[in-house]
Amino acid sequence: MKTSDFSVLIVDDEPNIRSGLAKGLAGEADRVETASDAEAALDKFEQSTYQLVIADVRLGGKIDGIELLRQLGQTHPQTAVIVITAHGTVETAVDAMRAGAFDFISKPLDLNLVRQQVRKARQHHALRIENQQLRSRLADAGQISNILGTCAAMQDVFHQIRQVAATEATVLIQGESGTGKELIARAVHDLSPRGDGPFVAVNLGAMPESLLESELFGHEKGSFSGASRQKPGCFEQASGGTLFLDEVTEMSPKSQVDLLRVLESGQFIRVGGEQLLSANVRIVSATNKSVQAMIEEGTFREDLFYRLNVIPIEVPSLRQRREDIPLLVEHFLKHFCDRHGRPMKQISPEAMQTLVAAKWPGNVRQLRNVVERMVVTHTDDLIQDHQLPQELQLQDNSNAPSATACTLAEAVERCERETISAALAACDCHRENTAKRLGVSVRTLHYKMSRYGLH
């Protein structure tokens, strides 16, 4: 079946409605099939996929239409569901939309209205496919979302993003502060079937424990002092999309248990509530700490780590991708000159060499801030070496070659070769440990060692 095909599954326990809808929608879809109850519908999903399900709320069997909607939201989030209700009550409609329904239709059915809803769902499906293809073309061109990088280490990261994005697997992103972990998370979301859904980011390190449960799971009106209304939490806000848990290692032991329970069961309850809600989200988390060290210290649960670390992505520091610094500088220069209404500026070769050789403890975030400062504070069209921030000029860059001794590319290569050589020595030439220390794959390390003659 082509990715552009549009298939519809009709689920209703009344044979006349099933057959009538199947005939009436034959011209609106490439394939129309029927099922008499939710169990039969789920069995059909074991053998095929459908872009749209039209399901009655009241179905014969153990599973009703709302529960079918919730289960499909977890297993097939790309499938749209239109719910049919006999009475069209507000409560039923609200329950359906909260569970992720594309829309709802009241009985008695108006076939023309049903056809309109199916066409709307088909247009939505076509737009999602078009967006995914556009994002894939951008990724193949060496840029994903707003992430730039041509070095081998970043190409490895791009490859991992493309591989994991098409799945529902949980992702743990590790790297130093300022390396762009949230951008990586957004890229995973953008390229996924959930890309048209919400992306909700929550910084767990900045959240007091007393508020974290309510922030994640929501609360009912009157559940605690100050709860003047019902509030959906991040899990509900991200329904159908991705929930990004930044600084996940900052969670308290109790919060770790709460999160683990949701990851294992796929359900949660609002603070002060009783109703079980489905967690129709994909979890992507991030940390700048060594999780293994925290596990050994007893400050992070090992079972939670295994739940989060299904697919690990290591983001290299800026020191490990110095050849990308000129590309990033030019990108930030254009961005901030446009943003602040300044004429486009240039960087002198000497200044660029200082930027390439700098230590960058704050990584890409620090580089971005430095470039913005230069755009705002300097009126000259050409930014010279002596105009760079003082903290960069005072750094010990004695290992960097002089501006007249070699080209910028040669300076970058020399710095990279020395970094790899030092890491190999520190790890007793153990290649896996060296690759981990450098934040690159073993394959990338082998390539670099061969390139620079390091054996």
Domain annotation for the chain: domains and CATH numbers: 7-137 (3.40.50.2300), 152-314 (3.40.50.300), 319-394 (1.10.8.60), 408-452 (1.10.10)
Q: Which two tokens stand for residue 52?
A: 């749209």
The confidence band for 449, taking pLDDT boundaries of 50, 70 and 90, is: confident
Q: Which two tokens stand for residue 95?
A: 């329950």
The mean pLDDT value for 37-63 works out to: 90
Q: Is the pLDDT of residue 445 over 60?
A: yes
CB within 8 A of 429, min separation 6: which ones?
Answer: none
Cβ atoms of 240 and 100 closer than 8 Å: yes
Q: Does residue 256 or residue 405 have the better pLDDT?
A: 256
CB within 8 A of 161, min separation 6: which ones?
Answer: 139, 144, 184, 187, 188, 191, 313
- pLDDT value for 433: 82
Percentage of the chain with pLDDT > 70?
Answer: 90
Cβ atoms of 451 and 416 closer than 8 Å: no
The confidence band for 2, taking pLDDT boundaries of 50, 70 and 90, is: very low
Neighbours of 171 (CB within 10 A): 26
Question: Which of 122-136, 172-186, 330-344 has the lowest average pLDDT?
Answer: 122-136
Residue closest to 295 by CA, chosen among 309, 282, 285, 283: 309
Q: Is the pLDDT of residue 141 over 60?
A: no
The mean pLDDT value for 307-311 works out to: 95
- pLDDT value for 3: 45
Q: Is the pLDDT of residue 311 over 90?
A: yes
First to last CA, the chain: 49
Q: Is residue 245 within a helix (H) or strand (E), and if so which, with residue range?
A: strand 242-246
- pLDDT value for 396: 52
Which residue matches tokens 């079918």? 68
Question: Which of 59-73, 129-143, 179-193 has the lowest average pLDDT?
Answer: 129-143
Q: Is the pLDDT of residue 447 over 70?
A: yes
- pLDDT value for 228: 86
- pLDDT value for 152: 87
Cβ atoms of 260 and 304 closer than 8 Å: yes
Residue closest to 83 by CA, chosen among 50, 114, 123, 125: 114
Cβ atoms of 188 and 147 closer than 8 Å: no
- pLDDT value for 452: 73
d(CA 141, CA 119): 33
Q: Is the pLDDT of residue 401 over 50?
A: no
Q: Taking CA 352 as the corner, what is the angle to CA 347 and CA 356, rounded to the nearest 5 degrees? A: 150
**Chain-wide mean pLDDT for the chain?**
86
Percentage of the chain with pLDDT > 90?
Answer: 49
- pLDDT value for 131: 65
Q: Which two tokens stand for residue 255?
A: 């919060």
d(CA 335, CA 340): 9
Q: Does residue 425 or residue 230 have the better pLDDT?
A: 230
Question: Which of 95-99, 334-338, 347-351 has the lowest average pLDDT?
Answer: 95-99
The mean pLDDT value for 234-247 works out to: 94
> pTM for the whole thing?
0.63
- pLDDT value for 371: 95
Q: Is the pLDDT of residue 179 over 90?
A: yes
Q: Is the pLDDT of residue 88 over 60?
A: no
The mean pLDDT value for 141-156 works out to: 78
d(CA 228, CA 251): 27
Q: Which two tokens stand for residue 444?
A: 């990338």
